[in-house]
């Protein structure tokens, strides 16, 4: 009765929801604006939007925020579902995939219609980077060169160095005669080493080692590609690029003036700023966006406060000409209008407002983003003046951000850049670890990426995908599935009993049949059909036949790597997890006081928020001060926990778990063991349902604990064990989140799971057809693996089987 | 029987307690770290190790999270609770029906059809995401709770069906045979024999399902646009934005998001323990 009542209540609530959905749309014009900002920017945007709504009565703006990591997946789904927002934030790397496919409204006609609007107010380079085939598609809102050095004034004073004025250069070897003019010399002078040979204070740290290498390579005059918007070859074997990688590796591995990749894990992006705040590094390189974080950690007057400022990153002095060349790898963002908008006029008003003076001024005042308009970047809204409140004074020399815009180098805008450069960069990680030379690694990376580039650029004349044939194929598939299920049993005699069983089965299965036909079958068949096509999500699909499957097996350089990594993960983590879960379940099934509390504690990792857990795991695996290393090596780094320390250490040093090719996958497996809570609870429930009298009977027969376990526990638990095994294998073949959040597949592809590759192909490279082919190959493998395990079903003891 | 005391079980209990305490310490670590981080000021957070206990614990981060107008925590809390409850209800009802068919009804093609049920778990959701989105769009369900709750009423997902099937198969056959002889139909066996004996299995499925929906990220991310109709896990992501992480707020938020689940688990546990063994089967 209780159950019925709650069921009815639930249905009523659902019905209510239904009615709400069908209520007519608002009379006002509603614009949807989507961004990937953080909390502080959102506060500012909200205020700016409120002002906009006041100025434009009858227009409502709904601000939607999505984390950058998931932003494009969501936007693309919305475009495909024809419910895209009106205005969306975009950056240079991701503009082309939308503009090229006609998803964005060209802005030049709108600019021309608006005499009051002056495009010349914006920094030229960021306007140029948002053009594609001569047309402007994104109105810039900020420009973000990573060309700044944050420095600790106190540490400069203590080292007897004058403060840097930005007129410095990197020389490959320190030149003390240049004083603060030589960056390498400054780095060296600010590094302090303890009597034990350990570095106490680093001279310099990059936020991202890769961005630092880019800065050096670009200032040497190298560029990774010739035509950023449309390249067909890459220059990673350029001697200047090799020189830059060698230089950066030497600074950390040999000179020890900069934390190495091992010490500054590339995945803990906040590491450099934290080292700076805690005065363990004297200078670090970043863009302007770290300012709010430093400000909130270093409040003037507080005990931890020290004086700090920013200056321009060094350049490279050409030994022949004496000319200094500077470069700053740069990002930036802006707002684009989706071509599907029903209110283009209002959307343009909003874009001008958000990526124009009102929006930029507010962002500048909050110290969040450098305005894309020079006029504002030089005004007191951005540069501290006499009226600036005390806490916003830092950093004082914000004017250098304006100068930095002269040296900006944007990442290539070609849509395939992310994919092919990712292939090179995954091979360059060993350089920073000192396990491979720059020359070899870059050559290898370029070779793999070139192969991929050739495949991508190959022009294919493909016919439009014929959905009628597709539909037919889908119907055949459906019939085949039904035939496979019922075919073999059709010849069975149809007795009275069998007919009544069939009727009952149908009745009980009804919810599942309806649900599957409604929600599951369609999308599954769709993805199967699309696996024979080339589909970029935005434009109509074209027919590619078996080419996707052929490409996966024979020419995708990442396919077999990811298959191998996934298989290793599955083969190790599933049995390990199963044994672990069983042991824990047995332990939690003992009769000890306070058991509910213990059970909850063991289950906690499975309850904790996934986002927070990922962050904490990164901290646990951190090389310097990470909990795992503390346990193995002790606080002094000299201990040796049961000999594990010596075994796992790299040259006697605590390892960087997630940054080490050999340890990253084991680290992810260790992490997965913390999450066995689910399996543990299932096995525990299974144990609990074993009737006590079986044990009593076995004991009376003289069985010892081990015998009881084998004769009673294992057989009666086998249904639960079987379940845990099958779902564990299905899940681990599809392992994704761990590497997506923790390692992004690195280092050197050692954690690049099959699903990560599939994900990058689908929403990253817009090759949904190819990704579907990958998915169906995986489906086939999992299906066969499950079929195989199902043959073990005979050994599973079901007390109630008929 | 003689009354000599057997030291075995006593010793076993001590060993088990030691293992339990040590294990708890290890397993509680990630949540302990969240808690420690959530009680620190941003500057203490930047200067100290993550697992050190704050020198002066402060609840400032908690009140900031609760008061933040960007992420209206209470509103999101309500949304998340509603979605999780509705979905759990649907799953418990419909998955038990379907599982019953696979465990106790002997219909034609049963075992092969069960492989089809399992196979719906085998295709990565990434490639069905867009067609599913389009489907819900056509149904005009986008930006409502329907895509996140209604499917639960139609089958409840292969995982839950499978889990319940395994439990149902463990219920001794004599029971439903006896009912059958007395002339009971499948509906009677399901509602009078199987369900009353499956408290622990249903509790397990419900708790799992609730936790799953409470922590679900992708579903709400894709199907809900309006910030006011989002769920907690999406709200938390705001504090983890790329280049603008606010760890102190993220940790405070995540602790508050986890507490209801801990309560649910503590409560639900009573029912896992009360398995078939205790329902007077002998």
Taking only the tens place, the pLDDT of each residue in A343-356 is: 999 999 999 999 99
**Separation between Cα atoms, residue B165 and residue A796, nearest integer Å:** 13
Strand partners of residue A650? A653
Residue A7 in this model has a pLDDT that exceeds 60:
no
Q: Which residues of B touch A688 (CB under 8 A)?
A: 200, 272-275, 277
Comparing alpha-carbon positions, the chain B residue that sits nearest to A588 is B20
Of A157-166, A538-547, A688-697, B155-164, the one with minimum mean pLDDT is A688-697
Looking at residue A636, its pLDDT comes to 67
- List CB contacts (< 8 A) between B265 and chain A: 599-600, 603, 607
Indicate the helix (H) or strand (E) that contains A309. strand A308-312
Question: CB of A776 within 8 A of CB of B116?
Answer: no
Whether residue A516 and residue B70 make contact (CB cut-off 8 A), yes or no, is: no
pLDDT higher than 50, residue A235: yes
The model's pLDDT over A190-211, given as tens digits with 9 standing for 90+, comes to 999 988 777 889 999 998 888 9
Residue pair A505/B110 in contact (Cβ under 8 Å)? The answer is: yes
> Alpha-carbon distance A289 to A312, whole Å?
15
Tell me what the mean pLDDT of segment A371-376 comes to: 91
Q: pLDDT value at position A218?
A: 95
Whole-angstrom distance between the N-terminal and C-terminal Cα of chain B? 23
pLDDT above 80: residue A153:
yes
pLDDT of A746 higher than 90: no
Question: Is A762's CB within 8 Å of B167's CB?
Answer: no
Residue the block writes with tokens 């008061």: B67
- pLDDT of A645 strictly over 80: no
Q: What is the pLDDT of residue A524?
A: 93
Alpha helices of A166-208 — where are they, by DSSP H?
Answer: 183-190
From the list B33, B110, B272, the residue facing A688 with the nearest CB is: B272
Q: In this predicted model, what pLDDT tens digit does every residue of A495-530 receive, in sequence order?
A: 888 888 889 999 999 999 999 999 999 999 999 999
Check: CB of residue A186 under 8 Å from CB of residue A255: no
Longest dimension (CA), chain A: 102
Which residues of chain B are modeled with pLDDT < 70?
Answer: 1-9, 243, 272-282
Tell me the average pLDDT of chain A. 87
Cross-strand bridge partners of residue A88: A34, A336
Q: Is B130 on the interface with A (CB under 8 A)?
A: yes
A610 or A527, which is more confident = A527
The first and second tokens of residue A696, run together, are 């009593």
Q: How far is CA A157 from CA A162, A274, A397, in A?
A: 7, 21, 18
Q: CB distance from B72 to chain A under 8 Å?
A: no
Answer whether B107 sits within 8 Å of A505, measured CB to CB.
Answer: yes
Q: Which of A775, A786, A785 is nearest to A549 (CA)?
A: A775
Rounded to the nearest angstrom, the minimum Cα separation between B80 and chain A is: 13
Quote the pLDDT of residue A737.
86
- pLDDT at residue number A800: 64
Mutation for testing the A interface, residue in B15, B25, B27, B49 having most A CBs under 10 Å? B27
Burial class (CB in 10 A: 0-12, 13-18, 19+), B195: middle
Among candidates A67, A511, A787 on the partner chain, residue whose Cβ is nearest the Cβ of B155: A511
| Gap between the Cα atoms of A22 and B111, Å rounded | 41
Residue B196, judged by CB atoms within 10 A of its CB (0-12, 13-18, 19+), counts as exposed
In chain B, residues 161-180 whose CB comes closer than 8 Å to chain A: 161-163, 166-173, 175-176
- CB contact under 8 Å between A289 and B244, yes or no, is yes
- Nearest chain A residue (CA) to B258: A608
Q: Count A/B contacts: CB-CB distance under 8 Å.
A: 441
Give the residue-averaged pLDDT of A23-49.
Answer: 83
What was the pLDDT predicted at A268? 42
On the question of pLDDT at A26 being above 70, the answer is no
Chain A residues within an 8 Å CB radius of B31: 604-605, 607-608
By C-alpha distance, the chain B residue nearest A704 is B8
Answer whether residue A363 shows pLDDT above 50. Answer: yes
Confidence check: pLDDT of A647 > 50? yes
Please name the member of A43, A299, A802 whose beta carbon is closest to the beta carbon of B70. Answer: A43
Q: Which residues of A764-801 are buried (b: 16+ CB within 10 A; e: fewer)?
A: bbbbbbbbbbbbbbbbebbbebbeeebeeeeebebbbe
pLDDT value of position A2: 56
Q: List, as ranges, residues 20-49 from B with C-beta within 8 Å of A.
A: 20, 23-24, 27-31, 33-34, 37, 42-43, 45-47, 49
pLDDT exceeds 80 at position A143: yes
Q: What is the mean pLDDT of residues A374-378?
A: 89
A71's tokens: 């932003």
DSSP at A98: H
If pLDDT is split at 50, 70 and 90, which confidence band does A12 have? low
Predicted local distance difference test score (pLDDT) of residue A638: 67
Query: For testing the chain A interface, which of B14, B130, B237 should be mutated: the one with the most A CBs within 10 Å?
Result: B130
Which of B117, B118, B127 comes nearest A762 by C-beta?
A: B127
Q: Which among B112, B117, B257 has the least Cβ separation from residue A609?
A: B257
Q: Give the span between the Cα atoms of A377 and A409, in whole angstroms.
A: 19
Name the band, by pLDDT with cuts 50, 70 and 90, for residue A433: confident
Nearest to B86 among A14, A43, A689 (CB): A14
Q: Which residue of A has its CA nearest to B150?
A: A14
**Which residues from chain B sit within 8 angstroms of residue A85, using beta carbons?**
225
Cα(A312)–Cα(A407) distance, integer angstroms: 10
B95: three-class secondary structure by DSSP: helix
Instruction: Chain B: give the shortest CA distance to residue A232, in Å.
Output: 29
A81 contact residues in B (CB cutoff 8 A): 130, 133-134, 136-137, 142
Percent of chain A exceeding pLDDT 70 equals 93
Beta-carbon separation of A515 and B94 below 8 A: yes
Distance from the Cα of A701 to chain B's closest Cα (Å) equals: 15
**Concatenated DSSP letters for A245-290?**
HHHHHHHHHTS-SS--TTTS-TT-TTHHHHHHHTTSEEEEEE-GGG
Q: Is the CB of B101 less than 8 angstroms away from the CB of A488? A: no
Locate the chain A residue with the closest alpha carbon to B15: A587
- Does the pLDDT of residue A18 top 60, yes or no? no
φ and ψ of A660, to 5 deg: -115, 125
**Minimal C-alpha gap between A321 and chain B (Å):** 38
Question: What are the b/e assignments for A127-150, b being 16+ CB within 10 Å?
Answer: bebbbbeeebbbbbbbbbbbbbbb
Q: Angle, to 10 degrees, between the axis of helix A467-486 and the axis of helix A521-530?
A: 120
Judge: B128–A755 Cβ closer than 8 Å, yes or no: no
Interchain CB distance below 8 Å, B130 and A76 = yes
Q: Which of B21, B47, B90, B123 to mutate to test the interface with A (most CBs of A within 10 A)?
A: B123
Label residue A244 exposed, middle or buried (CB < 10 Å: 0-12, 13-18, 19+): buried
Q: Which residues contact A35 (CB under 8 A, 6 or more apart)?
A: A41, A42, A45, A63, A64, A65, A66, A88, A89
* Helical H segments across A487-594, by residue range: 496-515, 521-530, 547-550, 559-588
- What was the pLDDT predicted at A27? 56
pLDDT for the residue numbered B281? 42
Give pLDDT, residue A652.
Answer: 66
Find chain B residues with C-beta within 8 A of A530's C-beta.
127
């Amino acid at each position: 009765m209780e159950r019925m009542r709650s069921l009815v209540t639930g249905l009523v609530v659902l019905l209510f929801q239904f009615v709400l959905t069908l209520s007519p749309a608002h009379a006002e014009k509603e614009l949807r604006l989507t961004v990937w900002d953080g909390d502080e920017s959102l506060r500012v945007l909200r205020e700016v939007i409120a002002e906009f709504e006041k100025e434009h009565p009858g227009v409502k703006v709904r601000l939607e925020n999505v984390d950058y990591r998931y932003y494009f997946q969501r936007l693309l789904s919305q475009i495909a579902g024809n419910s895209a927002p009106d205005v969306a934030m975009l950056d240079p790397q991701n503009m082309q995939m939308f503009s090229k496919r006609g998803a964005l409204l060209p802005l030049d006609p709108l600019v021309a219609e608006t005499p009051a609007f002056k495009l010349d107010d914006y920094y030229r380079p960021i306007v140029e980077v948002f053009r594609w085939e001569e047309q402007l598609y994104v109105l810039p809102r900020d420009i973000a060169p990573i060309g700044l050095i944050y420095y600790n004034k106190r540490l400069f004073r203590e080292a007897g160095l004058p403060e840097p004025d930005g007129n410095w250069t990197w020389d490959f070897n320190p030149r003390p005669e240049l004083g603060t003019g030589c960056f390498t010399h400054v780095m060296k002078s600010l590094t302090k080493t303890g009597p034990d040979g350990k570095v106490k204070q680093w001279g310099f740290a990059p936020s991202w080692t890769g961005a630092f290498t880019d800065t050096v390579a670009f200032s040497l005059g190298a560029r990774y590609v010739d035509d950023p918007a449309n390249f067909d070859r890459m220059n990673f074997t350029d001697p200047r690029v090799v020189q830059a990688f060698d230089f950066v590796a030497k600074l950390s591995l040999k000179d020890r003036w900069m934390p190495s990749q091992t010490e500054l894990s590339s995945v803990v992006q906040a590491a450099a700023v934290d080292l700076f705040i805690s005065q363990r590094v004297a200078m670090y390189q970043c863009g302007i966006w770290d300012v709010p974080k430093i400000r909130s950690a270093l409040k003037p007057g507080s005990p931890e406060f020290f004086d700090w400022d920013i200056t321009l990153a060094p350049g490279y002095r050409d030994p022949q000409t004496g000319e200094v060349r500077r470069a700053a790898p740069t990002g930036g963002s802006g707002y684009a209008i989706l071509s599907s908008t029903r209110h283009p006029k209002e959307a343009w008003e909003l874009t001008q407002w958000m990526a124009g003076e009102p929006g930029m001024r507010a962002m500048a005042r909050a110290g969040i983003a450098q305005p894309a308009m020079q006029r504002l970047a030089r005004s007191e809204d951005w540069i501290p003046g006499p009226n600036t409140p005390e806490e916003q004074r830092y950093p004082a020399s914000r004017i250098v951000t304006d100068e930095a815009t002269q040296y900006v180098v944007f990442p290539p805008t070609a849509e395939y850049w992310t994919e092919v450069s990712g292939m090179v960069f995954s091979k360059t990680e060993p350089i920073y670890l000192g396990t491979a030379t720059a020359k070899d690694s870059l050559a290898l990376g370029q070779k793999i990426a070139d192969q991929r580039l050739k495949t991508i650029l190959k022009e294919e004349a493909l016919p439009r995908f014929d959905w009628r044939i597709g539909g037919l194929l889908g119907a055949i598939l459906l019939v085949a599935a039904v035939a496979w299920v019922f075919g073999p049993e059709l010849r069975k005699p149809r007795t009275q009993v069998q007919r009544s069983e069939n009727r009952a089965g149908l009745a009980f299965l009804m919810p599942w049949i309806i649900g599957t036909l409604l929600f599951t079958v369609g999308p599954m068949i769709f993805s199967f059909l699309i696996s024979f096509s080339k589909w970029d999500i935005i434009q109509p699909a074209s027919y590619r036949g078996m080419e996707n499957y052929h490409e996966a097996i024979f020419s995708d350089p990442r396919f077999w790597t990811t298959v191998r990594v996934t298989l290793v993960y599955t083969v190790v983590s599933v049995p390990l997890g199963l044994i672990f879960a069983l042991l824990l379940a047995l332990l939690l099934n003992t009769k000890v006081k306070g058991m509910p509390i213990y059970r909850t504690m063991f289950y906690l990792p499975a309850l904790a928020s996934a986002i927070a857990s990922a962050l904490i795991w990164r901290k646990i695996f951190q090389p310097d001060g990470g909990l795992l290393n503390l346990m193995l090596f002790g606080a002094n780094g000299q201990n040796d926990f049961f000999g594990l320390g010596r075994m796992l250490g790299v040259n006697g040093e605590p390892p960087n778990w997630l940054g080490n090719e050999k340890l990253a996958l084991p680290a992810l497996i260790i992490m997965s063991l913390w999450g066995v809570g689910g399996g543990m609870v299932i096995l525990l429930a299974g144990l609990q349902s074993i009737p006590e009298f079986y044990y009593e009977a076995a004991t009376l027969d003289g069985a010892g604990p081990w015998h009881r376990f084998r004769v009673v526990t294992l057989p009666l638990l086998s249904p639960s064990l079987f379940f845990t095994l099958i779902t564990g294998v299905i899940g681990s073949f599809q392992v994704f989140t761990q590497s997506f959040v923790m390692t992004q597949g690195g280092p050197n592809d050692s954690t690049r799971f099959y699903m990560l590759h599939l994900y990058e192909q689908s929403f990253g490279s817009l090759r949904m057809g190819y990704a579907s082919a990958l998915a169906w190959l995986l489906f086939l493998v999992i299906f066969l693996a499950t079929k195989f395990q199902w043959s073990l079903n005979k050994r599973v003891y079901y007390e109630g089987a008929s | 029987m003689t009354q000599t005391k057997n030291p075995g079980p006593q010793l076993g209990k001590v060993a088990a307690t030691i293992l339990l305490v040590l294990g708890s310490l290890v397993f509680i670590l990630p949540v302990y770290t969240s808690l420690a981080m959530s009680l620190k000021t941003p500057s203490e957070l930047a200067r100290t190790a993550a697992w050190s206990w704050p020198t002066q614990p402060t609840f400032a981060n908690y009140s900031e999270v609760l008061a933040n107008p960007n992420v209206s925590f209470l509103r999101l809390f309500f949304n998340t609770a509603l979605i999780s409850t509705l979905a759990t209800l649907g799953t418990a009802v419909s998955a038990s029906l379907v599982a019953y068919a696979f465990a106790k009804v002997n219909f034609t093609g049963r075992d092969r059809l069960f492989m089809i049920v399992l196979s719906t778990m085998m295709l990565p959701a990434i490639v069905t995401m867009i067609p599913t989105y389009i489907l819900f769009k056509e149904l005009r369900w986008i930006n409502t709770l329907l895509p996140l709750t209604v499917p639960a009423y139609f089958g409840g997902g292969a995982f839950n069906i499978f889990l319940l099937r395994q439990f149902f198969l463990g219920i001794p056959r004599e029971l439903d045979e006896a009912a059958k002889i007395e002339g009971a139909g499948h509906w009677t066996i399901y509602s009078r024999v199987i369900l009353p004996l499956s408290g622990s299995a249903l509790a397990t499925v419900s708790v799992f399902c609730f936790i799953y929906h409470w922590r679900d990220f992708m579903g709400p991310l894709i199907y809900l646009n309006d910030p006011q109709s989002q769920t907690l896990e999406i709200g938390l992501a705001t504090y983890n934005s790329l280049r603008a992480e606010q760890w102190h707020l993220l940790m405070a938020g995540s602790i508050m998001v986890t507490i209801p689940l801990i309560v649910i688990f503590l409560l639900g546990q009573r029912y896992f323990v009360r398995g078939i063994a205790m329902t007077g089967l002998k």
